[in-house]
Structure 1
């Protein structure tokens, strides 16, 4: 499965599917071929989650002030 399959999946649903895969793989009772396929699907889901988080992070990095000026969002560490 490729990331395009998960294009419209929500972050929460992707994480839920990823957690299910991890749990099944941790049980260790999955046949090797199925485990490899599950691992690949998990990696795709992990990439989708990462991409979604990066997009949200970029959105949060920029906030519109009252006067309409776009300003980077500073973390507490940046302000010190």
Structure 2
């Protein structure tokens, strides 16, 4: 959970942020400012709903752009973050 909102993603970053303790102002700020790179779904906001899946970004997964999901998403994920 982030504050009182249920979320499907609760990885190590959310644990480190202590997102379960977020109040409504924290959630609003996170929605506007925080993005999560999902190996399956691409770029997400903290409360975007996703189905749980057991796939790590660094997991070996040969694809047309390299050997893992970081290489697969690189061209798509960098431009939105470059604007921040």
Name the TM-score class by shorter chain.
Answer: under 0.3
Structure number having the greater helix percentage? 1
**Larger Cα-atom Rg:** 1
Q: Bigger relative contact order, structure 1 or 2, given CA contacts below 8 A and separation 6+?
A: 1
Task: Report the TM-score, using the length of structure 1 for normalisation.
Answer: 0.28
